[in-house]
Amino acid sequence: AMVPNDIVLGCMLDALVCNGQIDEALDLFRRLKSRVPGNTVLWSTLIKGFANTHQAERAMDAWREMRSEGIKMNTVAYNAVVDAQARVGAMDAVSTLVETMAVDGCMPDTITYSTIVKGYCVKGDLDKAFEVFRGMQKNRMAGDSIIYNTILDGCTRHGRMDLADILLEDMEKLGVVPSNFTLGILVKMYSRRRQLHKALAVV
């Protein structure tokens, strides 16, 4: 029988992961591992599958296995593991990962920090989310509405209207263009604050 190469296997794993079949993807990967060695791309695809299905611990296991096998880590792979932890608010694990990134010679990027902010929002720790966000602003990493939306959404869910107002002032001052998603969050936020006139003004 023909054995797929790593590119073909990568496509097969990606197709399974995108259809929510992470266990089947992992099974296929394990079956072919002796003939198609694991690499950063293949492992990252599996970790993305664990992230999508909120299986944070399995993502960490995969990361540990990668490192024990001496597979070279990169920022994309790390971002996938960080995302898996952030989605469930496992911020201690995120801290461990960010520390280990430095050891592995990987630099956190805008996606890493945005994901960390998202994790703190999931956990309900908006002060910490805001602290990381301020660091992003300082390093010119918060240029578009996506990161603002993440925190605004967190503020709305957790009733932190004090921070939401600061963010909106920032957006206006820095000329950050709101997206449709931003407007949706604002309508929800002003409705919760019983400020329907502001909700209507936004639209």
The tens digit of pLDDT for each residue in 46-84 reads 999 999 999 999 999 999 999 999 999 999 999 999 999
Kindly report, residue by residue over 102-132, the tens digit of the pLDDT. Answer: 999 999 999 999 999 999 999 999 999 999 9
- Mean pLDDT to the nearest integer, 145-174: 92
The DSSP output letter for 34 is T
Per-residue pLDDT tens over the stretch 78-110: 999 999 999 999 999 999 999 999 999 999 999
Q: Any idea which residue has 């591992």 for tokens?
A: 33
Task: Return the percentage of the chain with pLDDT > 70, whole number.
Answer: 97
Confidence of residue 1 (pLDDT cuts 50, 70, 90): low
**Number of residues that make up the chain:** 203
Cβ–Cβ < 8 Å for 79, 63: no
Q: What are the helix (H) ranges across the chain? A: 6-18, 22-32, 40-52, 56-68, 75-86, 91-103, 110-123, 126-138, 145-157, 161-174, 180-192, 196-202
The predicted model scores a pTM of: 0.86
